[in-house]
């Protein structure tokens, strides 16, 4: 289950488990988290938790709600996000359940559907993970904790940027930086090769055409080949050099 750790001037005041669907934060007494400070609006912000996601929403407060220093209207909280309301800081922590066998087990696809008969939805922490989840609608909360799953990032890029320089033909001298995931070279319909940028380097692969690209005098086969600094690629009659950019 996720929780908020509330602090003021780096001193922890209290911990609030997000154990129900809606949590209101504000100055007035009826809020779930009351912050009695004039910088805080009467109804300042709201946190709605649905299964593994907690949504933070600013309720049109006078002084706004910040997450990690940036003002937000609506935000899906990620673990270790710091919510600032007035001078108060609320750190959002989504807990990893104890006894987690492996991260992968928690990410398995599960089905959400209407409850049948007497079957009870598994309570928090109840039921084996990976079990079918039963929940009538999207707004019903069957909390089952799961370790935070980082959002997919674009494939990691190699640290060093590379480029190719054309050595022969009419465009000799031209340079092309390989910033994209995929860069195609050659003439469509005649001969095309692609250079892919991957976390561990750059690779060249033949795409189309009867003749294959030649790397340092050796023809490429059907497999991708990693490019090294100063490799010379010959493609559709044009020679070009692959090299890593300095800096």
Partner 1 sequence: MIVNLGTALEVVTATDPGMVRSHNEDSIGTDADIGLAVLADGMGGYNAGEVASGIAVAMLTTEMKKAFEGNEPHTLDGSGESLAEKFVRENSAKANAAIYQTAKSQPQYSGMGTTLVVALFFDNRMTVGHIGDSRLYRLRKESFDQVTRDHSLLQEQIDSGMITKEQARYSQNKNLVTRAVGIDPEVETEIHTYNVEVGDIYLLCSDGLSDMVQDEDIHSTVSTLQANLPLAAKQLVQLANDSGGRDNISVILVRVMDDFAVPTGWFAKFKAWFR
Which chain residues interact with partner 1 by CB under 8 A? 50-53, 55, 74-76, 78, 94, 103-104, 107-113, 116, 128, 130-133, 138, 146, 148-149, 151-156, 180-182, 184, 188, 192, 194, 196, 198-199, 205-208
State the Cα–Cα distance between residues 222 and 96, nearest whole angstrom.
44
DSSP assignment of 126-181: -S-TTSPP--SSTTS---------PPPPPPPPPSS-EEEEE-SSTTTT-EEE--SS
User: In DSSP terms, which residues pair with 90 in a beta bridge?
Assistant: 6, 83
- CB closer to partner 1 out of 117 and 170: 117
CB of 19 to partner 1, least distance (A): 17
Instruction: Please say which residue, 97 or 167, places its beta carbon nearer to partner 1.
Output: 97
Compare residues 24 and 34 and give the one whose CB is closer to partner 1. Answer: 24
What is the nearest approach in angstroms of partner 1 to the Cβ of residue 63?
23
83 Cβ neighbours under 8 A, 6+ residues apart? 4, 45, 56, 65, 66, 67, 77, 89, 90, 91, 92
* Distance of alpha carbon 32 from alpha carbon 28, whole angstroms: 10
Residue 43 CB, nearest approach to partner 1 (Å): 19
Which of 199, 100, 110 lies closest to 148 in space, CA to CA? 100
Q: How far is the CB of 87 from partner 1 (least distance, A)?
A: 27
Q: Which of 152/173 has CB closer to partner 1?
A: 152
- What is the rounded distance in angstroms from the CA atom of residue 150 to the CA atom of residue 94? 12
End-to-end C-alpha distance for the chain, whole angstroms: 45
- For partner 1, the closer CB: 2 or 40: 2
Minimum distance between the CB of residue 182 and partner 1, rounded to whole angstroms?
5
* Residue 155 Cβ vs partner 1, minimum distance, rounded to whole Å: 4
Nearer to partner 1, 86 or 144 (CB): 144
């Amino acid at each position: 289950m996720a929780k908020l750790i509330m602090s003021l001037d780096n001193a922890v005041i209290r911990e609030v488990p997000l154990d129900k669907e809606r949590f209101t934060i504000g100055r007035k007494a009826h809020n779930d988290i009351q912050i009695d400070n004039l910088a805080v609006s009467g109804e300042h912000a709201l946190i709605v938790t649905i299964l593994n996601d907690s949504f933070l929403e600013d309720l049109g407060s006078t002084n706004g709600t910040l997450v990690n220093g940036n003002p937000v209207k609506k935000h899906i909280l990620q673990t270790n996000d710091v919510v600032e309301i007035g001078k108060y800081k609320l750190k959002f922590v989504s807990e990893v359940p104890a006894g987690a066998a492996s991260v992968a087990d928690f990410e398995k696809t599960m089905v959400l559907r209407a409850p049948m008969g007497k079957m009870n939805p598994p309570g928090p922490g109840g039921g084996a993970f990976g079990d079918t989840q039963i929940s009538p609608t999207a707004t019903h909360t069957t909390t089952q904790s799961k370790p935070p799953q980082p959002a997919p990032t674009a494939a990691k890029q190699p640290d060093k940027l590379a480029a190719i320089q054309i050595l022969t033909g009419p465009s000799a001298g031209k340079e092309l930086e390989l910033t994209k995931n995929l860069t195609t070279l050659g003439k469509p319909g005649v001969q095309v090769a692609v250079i892919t940028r991957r976390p561990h380097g750059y690779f060249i692969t033949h795409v189309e055409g009867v003749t294959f690209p030649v790397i340092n005098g050796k023809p490429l086969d059907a497999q991708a080949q990693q490019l090294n600094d100063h490799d010379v690629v010959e493609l559709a009659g044009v020679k070009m050099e692959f090299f890593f950019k300095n800096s």
